[in-house]
Structure 1
Amino acid sequence: MNSLRDLHSDTVLHFGPYAFYLQQRLILDGEVALRMGGRALDLLQLLVEQAGTVVSKEQLIARVWPTSVVEEINLRVHIAALRRALGDGQNGLSYIINVPQKGYCFVAPVVQGPASTLVALETCLPPQHNLPARLTPVTGRDSVVGSLVRQLPVRRQLTLVGPGGIGKTTVALRVAELLLQHYRDGVWRVDFSTLDDPTRVVDHVLRSLGLEVGSTLEALKARHALLVLDNCEHVLERCRHLVEALLLGAPRLSILVTSREPLKAAGETVQRVAPLVVPPVSALHSVEQVMGYSAVQLFVSRARARQQGFALREQDLKALREICRRLDGLPLAIELAAAQIDALALVGLQAQLDNCFQLLTQGRRTAVPRHQTLKAALDWSYDKLSNREQTVLQRLAVFKMSFTLEAAIGVISCAVLRPAQLLTLLEGLVAKSLLSLEQVNGSARYRLLHTTRSYALEKLAHSGCLRLFEVRYGHHIRRARRESSVLEVVE
C-alpha cells in the first residue's frame, strides 16, 4: 500500500487529519497536539513506517519493550488506547487492524513529506487535563486497565474498591492517561485525600476543574469529560450525592471513583482491585518463570531503582516468594520492602517480616501522609471505624486462617458484641476492604490479609486482651478438631 523508505528525523508523516513530526515525536490534529505516552508513539511509528504490512506482535513488543518481559495483554491495551486516541472507526476512518494470529497492520494511506520548520510547542493547543506526571511504570495492571478503558465510555460510572496500598489510584490514573484523547473536554482528577470538610466536596471539584468556587454544577452540564474522584472513602455520602447529581445532570460525563468501600450510588459498577500475583511454590524452578508474576516484577523493578546492579538469582527465589506472599501482593508494601534492599538484602527482609510495621516505615516522601508507610495506610482505615468495628477487627486477628461466621461468634462474641450484631459488623469490615469474604465449597469464609492481621494483633495486644482471645481461639480449635474426629468415626 505505502512504501516509506529513507525516513529522516525531520520527516513528517501525514495520515487522515494527522501530522506526525518524527523529530519532535509530536502528533498534531490540526493545531491540537495529541497527548500520547512514549510507548504509544513507538508503536505508532513502527506501524506507520510499515503501513500496509502486517507487523507481528513479537516485533512490536521487541521494539517497545526491548529489555522487559511483557505479556500480550500489555500490547493489546496500548493498541486499544492508540486506536481510541486516533478516533479509529469514527467517521468511516480506519487506521489499525488486527490480523488474527499474525499481528497488526496500519491501513490508512500515509504521505511522507519534509518538515520545513519545527512546530512551536507552545502554539499547540494541548488536551485539557490536570493529571500528575507518572514517575514509575505501572506493573501488573494491564488486564484491569484494559477492561476499564473499554468499559468507562459506556458504563459512565465505575468505582475501584480495595484496601489501602492496593494501587487504586495508580490504576485510575493509568486509565485516565489512556483515555485522554477520548474526551473532548478533558480528563480531570479530583483528589479528596487532603479534604477534611465534607461540606466542601462540590467546591473542591470546581476548584480542581479550574471553575469558580461557589458556582453550581450546571457548569458541567454540557461537558464531555472524565472525572477521576480519588480517595473518596472519608467523604462517602457527599460523593454519592455528587455522583448521582452529575450522572443525571451531565449526560456526557464519565466518572471513575477510587474508594476503600463502594459509594452505593445509583448506576454504580464496582470493580475490586486485586493484589498483584504471587508465584506458587511450583514456579520456583527458574528466575525466568518467577519473573512472569506481577508481585515479583514490581519488587525487582523497585529494587533495581534502589540498588544499582540488583539481579535476582535462583537461590533468592524462595525468599522473594515468601516476602511477596507475606505482604499479600500489596503494591505499597512491596515497594516499601524493596526500598530496604540495600540495607537488609533479601534474606534480611524475609527475617524481618514478623516485624513488618517497623520494617515498612521508610515511606515515600512525595506521597500523601497516609500512603507514605503501610502503617499510615492502615491507620487511616482503622481511625474511620466505629468503636465496635475496631473491637471486632482486633479480636479477629487471633484467627490464623480463614474462618466462618459461626467460628467468629464462638471466639469473639461477648455481652457487648452479641452474636446477632456480628454479621452486620463483619459485613461492614468487608465493605471497607479490611476483611475479605470468600466462597469455599459453598461456605462463606472470612479472611484477614497478613498485613492487616499483624496490625490488628498489635492493637489487640495494646488493649490488654490478646491473651484472653488467644485462649478462646485455642478452645475453638480443639473443639473443632474433636467434632471433626467424631464425624470421621460416624462416617
Structure 2
Amino acid sequence: MNSLRSINSDAVLRFGPYAFHLRQRLILEGDRSLRMGGRALDILQVLVERAGSVVSKESLIAHVWPTSVVEEINLRVHIAALRRALGDGQNGQRYIVNIPQRGYSFIAPVQRDRTGTLVPVETEHKPQHNLPARLTPVTGRDSIIGSVVRQLPVRRLMTLMGPAGIGKTTVALRVAELLLQHYQDGVWRVDLAAIDDPAQLVKHLSRTLELDVGGTLLGQRHALVVLDNCDHLLECCRAVVDNLLASAPRLSILATSREPLQAAGETLMRLPALAVPPASAIYSVAEAMDYSAVQLLVSRARARQQGFTLRQQDLKAVREICRRLDGLPLAIELAAAQIDALALVGLQAQLGNCLQLLTQGRRTALPRHQSLKAALDWSYEQLSPLEQIVLQRLAVFKMAFTLDAAIGVISGAMLLPASLVNVVESLANKSLLSVEQGNGVTRYRFLNTTRAYALEKLEHSGYLRAFELRYERYISRAHWASIGQVALQLVE
C-alpha cells in the first residue's frame, strides 16, 4: 500500500469549501464528494500537508510513484485534473500554483481537524478500458500529448493527423492512458485497421463497447472513444462520429487518420516529426541527446543491444540517420533494430536503400506497421489511380516545389493543370506531401522516405527517365530565366 495513506490518517484537512478526509481518501464539498483518482489524491495530500512550501516535481514523483519510473507529463496531467476538480482559479480562489524551475505549492490556508465527522467510505471507482499494455516509453511527444489531454475533454472531437509512421496511434494511446481517471465510464479503443467493409464499422464499434446496435449508443455515459486508423473509412466514420456526439453529450472522441474526418466540431492536431539535429555539426553527445529523434534511436538501440553507448565518433552518423529518416518514429525504430548487425556507420551507408533496409518490424504489430514499406504500401493503396500517378511523377522533385513548378514538369494532355492542382492539394491533405508557407508562396515537399517510395514506383512504371529529363529541362529554363531577370534589373 502506498505509504502516503498512513500519514496522519485520522486528520481532516480543510481548505476553502473542501474537507479532505485522509483515512477515507475522500474530499467533500459540503455534502458532495469529489471524484478523483488515487494518484491525484496522493499529489494533493503531499501538497496540502506542506501548504505554503514549494514541493519539487522530483519530490512529488518520488512520493506518488515510489516504485515506478514515470514521465513528468504524468504529474502535469494529474495537477491539471486537481485544478479542474477544485475549481482552481474560479472566483479568484487559487489553490495550486506552479513555481517556475522549482515545483508546485499549495497556497490556500489549511486547517487540520482531528474531530471531523467521517462519512461511510464509497467504493473506489475503477476506470474501465481496453487499452493495450505499453511496453516502451513515448519519446518526444510530451508537448503535443499534454495539449491533447487538456483540450479533448472540452472540445470532445479531436483528430490526430500525419503521414504513415509518424506515431498517431502511439500518441492517441498515451493520451487515453493519461485520461483514464477523467472519464468515469471508461476509455475504449476501437481499431478500424482490420475493417474493410464500412457496413461493419457500427457492428465493430458496438461489439467493442458492449452496446446494443439498435439502441442509443452511449446515452449519458462519460467516456472516451479512440477511433484508431480511420483513413479508409472516412465517410462512414464521419457519420458515426456525428451521431455519437449528438446522442451522447458526455462522450469524447479521439480519432487518428491521415486526413480530416470533416465531422462537425472537429479539431485537427497534426503530428510533427521528432526533432532532428541540424545540418551543422554537433559537438557533444549531450547536445545530440537534446533531440528527440536521437533519444528514440538510442533508447531502441539499447533495448536491442546490451551496453550500447552513443560515442563522440558516432555523432555524424546519428545526425545523418535521423535526418534521412525525417524524424519518423517508425523509421527510426526499424533502423535501430539494424544497429547490432550493421553498427551506426554501416546503417548510415545503407540509407540510400532505406525502404529495403527498414523491414524488420515487430511481428506482433499490424502488417502495415511491421515495416516502413508496408506502411507506405497501405497509404498508397488508398489513393485513386490519378493520385498514384501524380505522387510518382512529383517524386522527381528533389526539393520543395510550387504548384507552378509541378504543372511545368508533370502536366500534359492526360493531366491538365486544373486537375493537377486538385490532386496535389489532395495528396497534401492525405499527409503524403507536407506544406510550407513563406513569403506569400505555398510550397510542397516530400519526406525523404515517401519520395524514395514514390521514385521506386515511378521506376517500375517505366517513366522515371522521361520525367527526370522533364524536371532537368524545367530547372534549366528556370535558372536561365532567373539570370535574365537579374540582368534586366541591373540594366534598369
Select the residue among 335, 347, 366 that pairs with 1:337.
335
Task: Determine if contact 1:77/1:145 at 8 Å carries over to the other structure.
Answer: no
Q: Equivalent residue for 2:148?
A: 148
Q: 2:228 aligns to what? A: 230
Residue 144 of structure 1 and its aligned partner are, at CA, apart by: 0.6
Distance 1:249 1:10 in 2: 41
2:6 alignment partner in structure 1 = 11
- Contact 1:88/1:94 (8 A) holds in 2: no
Q: Which runs of 5+ in 2 are unaligned?
A: 14-18, 28-32, 115-122
1:468-491: CA deviation from partner (whole Å, max 9, x where unpaired): 111111111111111111112112
Q: Provide the rounded CA distance (Å) in 2 between the counterparts of 1:19 and 1:170.
A: 36
Q: Secondary structure at 2:252's aligned position in 1?
A: strand
1:470 maps onto 2:445 in alignment = no
Equivalent position of 1:197 in the other structure: 197
Secondary structure class of the residue paired with 2:437: strand
1:144 counterpart SS class: helix
Match of 1:346 in 2: 344
Partner of 2:257: 259
Alignment partner for residue 303 of structure 1, among 288, 301, 304? Answer: 301
Provide Cα deviations, 1:25-76, integer angstroms capped at 9, x if missing partner.
Answer: xx8899x99475xxx899678657755521234655898999xxx9xxx746
1:132 match: 132
Residue identity matched to 1:89:
L
Q: Is the CA contact (8 Å cut-off) linking 2:4 and 2:42 kept in structure 1?
A: no
Within 5 Å, which residues of 2 pair with 1:448-463?
A: 448-463=446-461
Gaps of 5+ in 1: 1-6, 22-26, 114-122
Distance 1:335 1:88, change over 3 A: same
Letter of the 2:133 partner, please give it: A
Counterpart AA for 2:6: T
The Cα of 1:98 is off from its aligned counterpart by 2.2
Say if 2:43 is the partner of 1:53. Answer: no
Which amino acid letter does the alignment assign opposite residue 211 of structure 2?
L
Counterpart code for 1:269: T
Give the aligned residue type for 2:226: V
Distance 2:429 2:227 in 1: 19
Inter-CA distance 219–406: structure 2 relative to 1 (3 Å threshold): closer
Structure 1 stretch displaced more, 55-64 or 319-328: 55-64
Contact 1:152 1:158 in 2 (8 A): yes
- Aligned residue for 2:217, secondary structure, equals helix
Corresponding residue of 1:89: 86
Secondary structure, counterpart of 1:281 in structure 2: coil
Instruction: Note if contact 2:217-2:244 (Cα within 8 Å) is conserved in structure 1.
Output: no
What's the offset of the Cα at 1:403?
0.6
Per-residue CA deviation, residues 290-310 of structure 1 (Å, 9 max, x unaligned), is 111111111111111111111
Tell me: CA distance 1:33–1:308, structure 2 relative to 1, closer, same or farther (3 Å). Answer: farther
Q: Of 374, 391, 410, which aligns to 1:412?
A: 410
Paired residue for 1:174? 174
Partner Cα distance (1:19, 1:476) in 2: 75
Where do 1:310-321 residues align within 5 Å?
310-321=308-319
Letter in 2 for 1:194: A
Paired-residue identity, %: 64
Structure 1 match to 2:214: 215
CA distance in 1, matches of 2:65, 2:162: 30
The separation in 2 between residues aligned to 1:281 and 1:63, in whole angstroms, is: 42
Q: Distance in 1 between matches of 2:312 and 2:219?
A: 58
CA contact (8 A) 2:217 2:248 kept: no
Equivalent residue pairs, number: 461
- 2:285 is the alignment partner of 1:290: no
Q: Which amino acid counterpart does residue 192 of structure 1 have in structure 2?
A: L
Amino acid corresponding to residue 409 of structure 1 in structure 2 = I
- Contact kept? 2:297, 2:333, Cα under 8 Å: yes
Q: Is the 8 A contact 1:128 1:187 kept in 2?
A: yes
Q: State the distance in 2 between where 1:181 and 1:131 align.
A: 13
More off after superposition, 12-21 vs 400-409: 12-21
Cα distance in 2 for partners of 1:255, 1:18 equals 35
* TM superposition shift of 1:432: 0.8
Q: 2:395 aligns with which of 394, 397, 400?
A: 397
| Alpha-carbon separation, structure 2, partners of 1:41 and 1:363 | 40
Distance change (3 Å), C-alpha of 1:64 and 1:290 = farther
TM-score by length of 1: 0.85
- Does the 8 Å contact 1:85/1:182 carry over to 2? no
- Give per-residue Cα distances to partners, 1:220-277, cap 9 Å, x unaligned: 1211111111100111100001111122221111111110110111211111111001
Q: How far off its partner does 1:99 sit?
A: 3.4
| SS of match in other structure, 2:377 | helix
Contact 2:5/2:22 (CA < 8 Å) preserved in 1?
Answer: no
The 3 A distance-change label for structure 1 pair 95 and 195 is farther
- SS of the equivalent of 1:219 reads coil
TM-score by length of 2: 0.85
**What residue in structure 2 maps to residue 3 of structure 1?**
none
User: Which residue of 2 is the match for residue 120 of structure 1?
Assistant: none
* Cα distance, 1:62–1:127 mapped onto 2, change above 3 Å: closer
C-alpha spacing 1:413/1:219, structure 2 compared with 1 (3 Å): closer
Separation of aligned partners in 2, 1:175 and 1:358: 33
Question: What is the alpha-carbon distance in structure 2 between the residues aligned to residue 283 and residue 291 of structure 1?
Answer: 14
How far apart, in 2, do the equivalents of 1:302 and 1:110 lie?
Answer: 49
The structural deviation recorded for 1:11 is: 3.1
Aligned to 2:419: 421
Q: 1:18 and 1:278 mapped to 2: Cα distance?
A: 49
Paired with 1:475 and 1:208, the residues of 2 have a C-alpha distance of 56
| One-letter amino acid of the counterpart of residue 77, structure 2 | A
| Distance of aligned partners of 1:215 and 1:464 in 2 relative to their CA distance in 1, 3 Å threshold | same
The more displaced of 373-382 and 126-135 is: 126-135
Taking structure 1 as reference, are residues 340 and 242 closer, same or farther at Cα in structure 2, changes over 3 Å only? same
CA contact (8 A) 1:34 1:85 kept: no
Determine the C-alpha separation between the residues in 1 that align with 2:260 and 2:330.
21
**2:214 partner amino acid:** S
1:88 CA drift (Å): 3.6
User: Which residue does 1:162 correspond to in 2?
Assistant: 162
Compute the displacement of 1:459 (Å): 0.5
Cα separation, 2, equivalents of 1:292 and 1:314: 15
Residue 117 of structure 1 corresponds to none
Equivalent position amino acid for 1:219 in 2: L
- In the TM superposition, residue 105 of structure 1 has moved relative to its aligned partner by 2.3
Does the CA contact (< 8 Å) of 1:11 and 1:112 recur in 2?
Answer: no
Distance 1:363 1:81, change over 3 A: same
Q: Distance in 1 between matches of 2:52 and 2:137?
A: 31
Aligned to 1:387: 385
Query: Deviations along 1:61-108, whole A, 9 cap, x unmatched?
Result: 898999xxx9xxx74663233441686424999864323564202568
